[in-house]
Amino acid sequence: MSTNLADPQRLATPPTFQSVSVNRRIKNGIATALVWGAFLVAIIPLVWVLYTVVQRGFPVILDGDWWQKSMSGLLARQQGGGAYHAIYGTLVQGLVCAVISVPIGIMIAIYLVEYGGRSRLSKATTFMVDILTGVPSIVAALFVYTVWITTFGLGRSALAVSLALVLLMVPVIVRTTEEMLKIVPDELREASYALGIPKWKTIVKIVIPTALSGILTGIMLALARVMGETAPVLVLAAYAPFINYNLFDGPMASLPLMMVNERNNPTAAGFDRIWGAAITLVVLITLFNLLATVISRALAPKTK
Amino acid sequence: MAKRLDIKDLNLFYGKFHAVENVSLAVPPKNVTAFIGPSGCGKSTVLRSLNRMHEVAPGARVEGKVLLDGEDIYTSTVDPVEVRRTIGMVFQRPNPFPTMSIRDNVVAGLRLAGLKDKKKLDEVAERSLRGANLWNEVKDRLDKPGGGLSGGQQQRLCIARAIAVQPDVLLMDEPCSALDPISTLAIEDLITELKKEYTIVIVTHNMQQAARVSDQTAFFNLLGVGQPGQLIEVDDTEKIFSNPSQKATEDYISGRFG
């Protein structure tokens, strides 16, 4: 009793709760250090690359000519000219690829989620898509080269590039669309059936709109990925320093191809163009990602 | 409007599992029939077989007959889509379409069936929302998303959506189990209103609810785990809750098991 009076902080019984043990504090410290370490390992190269690209390329793309002119008629060591021809090539090859891949990819995903179930065809399709996801771009490019150019005897062209990109883009779209369709609750499908709405209309009018924002994000990310692919353009399209609007014939530039080409140009002009093309590609892909975010926000189901 | 349902020797299966055995039951028009019984006894399964929703589950199979005013809905020439248009359904959890506004949710059934006349659709939306006692609460925000309503309002929105296609029969699968007592009361009042025009079958776990809203009660039970569910008895609600003819029914409603 006297001790209690002397020390009011001291309790008659031992406290139920005690401070965090040393052992746990050490474990917590180690885990925190590992997590931060992993974060730094990931972020340092990223910042470094971005800094290098921006520092070396930014002055180049500030020139208005960069966005409006091609390299037509310029000597390798001459400054000036622009990347218009390469930007056009990258965009058009990417878009043609998307126009072919998006319907195929979405329809495969619809089959897998809504109709396939656990059938053998569905399992086989999933397996093929998995394999296709792992195919390196150079293999896709060589496959198209073998079929399109060696077997059918058709020339190298932007369309051939797009076809190789389709092989890379379809599995990505199937995967993302499949995941998005799977998270649409079955209750919505049942609610629709119970109103006497046929299955196909339920898919088109209820399921797809509910999943649309996620599907579009997936498409944009897939597009961003294929626009940076180098192997297909190297194998399937020759570089053209001038503007070629023809999809079906002749050499056509693209940003990765322009960078490869200017790598062989040892002058200061070549150096500038490599970094200019690099930052242009980064900017284009960033724009696509931003666009994806904006569209998916606009289309996402709302509650307010 | 308001047709009668006759269930004859209905057997329901999920793959090899025999879920419900030999159910025969008559549902008179403009009448509320309640299905009660312990979990897993197959009452929801029977309900879902009444508008051919049972077969949506993979491997699900139906034997026996369900007659809507004498016409078997399981005849091979009958389109299940037509059956579901005639026999509407409200689910356990409110499930408004998240991409649609309140108005679009209500008229979804008609619009997706091809009705385009905007004036007609607006009329139907108002009539159905009034029918579901929701009009006064949402008339100023018909263009807002249905997902923004409270749970009870969402469930009434789903009822409005179900009655917008003017079904002959309305099936309700535990429509109040996700709602608070006040919303539950609103839905129960609504069921009493709807009875004037529709034949209603409701599955409920809440025996007071069955006693309050239904005219006829069917008690389902299962003899053991893995055994098929069975219809024990069906009678006037008053009789079931005061003087049931089967011992199992009495045990269940007096809370001695289940």
CB–CB contacts below 8 A, A to B = 82
Match 């296609």 to its residue by tokens: B165
pLDDT in tens, B227-256: 889 899 999 999 999 888 888 888 888 887
In 3D space, the residue among B72, B142, B152, B61 whose CA is nearest the CA of residue B107 turns out to be: B142
- Give SS3 for A12: coil
H helical segments located in chain B: 43-49, 80-86, 102-112, 118-131, 135-138, 151-164, 181-194, 207-213, 237-242, 247-253
Q: Is B70 left (phi over 0), alpha (psi -120 to 50) or beta?
A: left
Angle, in degrees to the nearest 10, between helices A255-263 and A268-299: 160
Residues A21, A23: Cα–Cα separation, whole Å:
5
Verdict on whether the full-model pTM lies above 0.95: no
The answer to whether B132 and B194 are in contact (CB under 8 A) is no
CATH 1.10.3720.10 matches A84-299: yes
Overall average pLDDT of the A56-71 stretch: 87
Query: Which amino acid is present at B236?
Result: D
Distance from CA of A121 to the nearest CA of B (A): 17
> Domain coordinates of chain B in residue numbers?
5-95+169-253
- pLDDT of residue B43 exceeding 70, the answer is yes
- pLDDT of residue B219 exceeding 70, the answer is yes
- pLDDT of residue B35 exceeding 50, the answer is yes
CB nearest to A210's CB, from B98, B112, B113: B98
- pLDDT of residue B26 exceeding 70, the answer is yes
Distance from CA of A108 to the nearest CA of B (A): 20
Provide the pLDDT for residue B1.
66
Residue of A nearest to B111 (CA): A197
Q: What are phi and psi of B93, to 5 degrees?
A: -100, 135
pLDDT band at A1; cut points 50, 70, 90: very low
pLDDT in tens, B62-108: 999 999 998 999 998 999 999 999 999 999 999 999 999 999 999 99
Asked if A195 lies within 8 A of B162 by C-beta distance, the reply is yes
Residue B27 carries which DSSP code?
E
Return mean pLDDT, chain A.
89
Residues B181, A137: Cα–Cα separation, whole Å:
60
Structure tokens at A138: 């150079």
CATH H-level superfamily of B5-95+169-253? P-loop containing nucleotide triphosphate hydrolases (3.40.50.300)
Match 């998307």 to its residue by tokens: A98
- Give chain A positions within 8 Å (CB) of B112: 192, 195, 197, 201, 205
pLDDT band at A15; cut points 50, 70, 90: confident
pLDDT more than 70, % of chain A: 96
| Residues 6 or more apart whose Cβ sits within 8 Å of residue B150 | B183
| Residues 6 or more apart whose Cβ sits within 8 Å of residue B23 | B7, B9, B10, B11, B46, B64, B230, B231
Residues B105, B162: Cα–Cα separation, whole Å:
10
Question: What interface predicted TM-score (ipTM) does this complex get?
Answer: 0.89
| Burial classification of residue A31, based on how many CB atoms lie within 10 Å of its CB (0-12 exposed, 13-18 middle, 19 or more buried) | exposed
Distance from CA of B29 to the nearest CA of A (A): 20
- pLDDT of residue A4 exceeding 90, the answer is no
Distance from CA of B48 to the nearest CA of A (A): 10
Provide the pLDDT for residue B257.
64
Higher-pLDDT residue of A181, A70 = A181
Overall average pLDDT of the A74-93 stretch: 86
Overall average pLDDT of the A209-219 stretch: 91
Residues A168, A145: Cα–Cα separation, whole Å:
15
- Give chain A positions within 8 Å (CB) of B85: 195-196
Q: Let me know the angle formed at the C-alpha of B169 by B191 and B92, rounded to the nearest 5 degrees.
A: 60
pLDDT in tens, B98-155: 999 999 999 999 998 888 899 999 999 999 998 888 999 999 999 999 888 998 899 9
pLDDT band at A304; cut points 50, 70, 90: low
- Give SS3 for B62: strand
